[in-house]
Amino acid sequence: MKKVAILGANGQVGCEVALFLRQRDDIEVVPICRNRQGSAFLRHMGFSCRHGSASDPNAQELFEDCSAVADFTLPTGSAVEVRRAFNAIIPPAVQAAPARAPYIYLSSITAFGFPDFRSPLRHYRFSRNSYGTLKRYAEKLVVKHCAGTSRDAFVLRVGVVHGEMQAVSRKLRQLVRDTATDPVYIPDAPSYSVFAYSIAEAVAGAALGREDPGHYTLVSEPAWSWEDLHRYYAREEGVPCRVERLPADAERSALGSVADRFVAPLLGLVWRQKDVIAGYAGARLPGIEDVMRARYHQRNARRELALGEMRAQQRPYNNNRSVLPGRRMTCLSDSRVTMAPAAEKLRAELAAAQHARR
């Protein structure tokens, strides 16, 4: 059995991953929190927690006899404050961890640098979002200091995290309840989601030596489609769902072709200069002003009708067919099939804990 220390175990993701890891026979979880106040819920759930900071003089005691360290810390504040926090956590934690214990860092797919989830989900040489820039900085710290201590480094660029304790899951549960009787228009495309259950599998795989060190893109593998996600939450909530699949180019088709989108602004520019054009060309081309006016208003009308139809439809998911780059972990199971028993057990544990606190 491998003993895995979890830094930031009192966060939403770290806590749920710790609870899933505890269900395994081959992993013992050691949650590490800064103080007893932060570990209150974990201790209520039956964990034996260790308290302190990686920058403490006796930090080695926090990681004593651990086979791996998983870093779920998520500093907040300004960019300067977050970088300072990364430097206060990562280098000393890597240094204090036992020899040969791999360091598993939970990063984010935003580190690929795309500006938002509507943009192509590819690697950008210069990050277009501030959070991704900070995560790249943390990744470099991990790789640099692990290399300096001859330990394996795992950088897991995690997708949007779903689970029993995750905010995005609560929002989707509310969505399926609110739209139970309405059609929901869902992209026919893979999502960039991952469940806390799969993150626990990834941490276990790295700790047990089942994966090679390096950078990984951590999304569900095989990927859940947006329809898979929507229907999953509808089943969980016990409500019907009416799904209409959107083709990849649904927005583009509704708003016109690429040529139309370039032509429409050009026609607008021409229409604003109609008096000048009519003055020079009107005599040679009778009726040109009427043609320009008609075409300009026709295109505007089609566009407004398409936009109105789109706004009236329930389209809660980005219609983005980009496939995230990066290696995938081979130790992940198909969570659409394997997650249900573990999730049911976790729900029962959380319900019992909530009942006990009353």
Q: What is the pLDDT of residue 247?
A: 80
Quick one: residue 124, left, alpha or beta (phi over 0 = left, psi -120 to 50 = alpha)?
A: beta
Q: What is the pLDDT of residue 178?
A: 93
Tokens of 220: 């569900």
Query: What is each CA distance from 64 to 19, 50, 57, 60, 342, in whole angstroms?
Result: 21, 10, 14, 6, 29
Going along the chain from its start, the domains and CATH numbers come out as 2-163+190-221+322-357 (3.40.50.720), 250-312 (no CATH)
Q: What is the pLDDT of residue 312?
A: 45
Rounded distance, CA 348 to CA 355, Å? Answer: 10
Give the three-state DSSP class for 334: coil
Question: From the CB of residue 161, how many other CB atoms can be counted at a distance below 10 Å?
Answer: 23
Among 70, 67, 61, residue whose Cα is nearest residue 100:
67
Asked if omega into 183 is within 30° of 0 (cis), the reply is: no
Instruction: DSSP letter for 125, please.
Output: S
Rounded distance, CA 219 to CA 323, Å? Answer: 11
Report whether 166 contacts 13 (CB < 8 A): yes
Q: What is the pLDDT of residue 310?
A: 41
Rounded distance, CA 85 to CA 73, Å? Answer: 10
Rounded distance, CA 266 to CA 85, Å? Answer: 50
- pLDDT truncated to tens, each residue of the chain (358 aa)? 999 999 999 999 999 999 999 999 999 999 999 999 999 999 999 999 999 999 999 999 999 999 999 999 999 999 999 999 999 999 999 999 999 999 999 999 999 999 999 999 999 999 999 999 999 999 999 999 999 999 999 999 999 999 999 999 999 999 999 999 899 999 999 999 999 999 999 999 999 999 999 999 999 999 999 999 999 999 999 999 999 998 866 554 444 555 555 555 665 665 566 555 555 555 555 666 676 667 666 666 655 554 444 444 678 898 888 999 999 999 999 999 999 999 999 999 999 998 887 6
- Write out the E strands in 36-178: 50-51, 68-71, 103-108, 153-158, 160-162
Give the three-state DSSP class for 128: coil
Instruction: DSSP letter for 103, please.
Output: E
Q: How many residues does the chain have?
A: 358
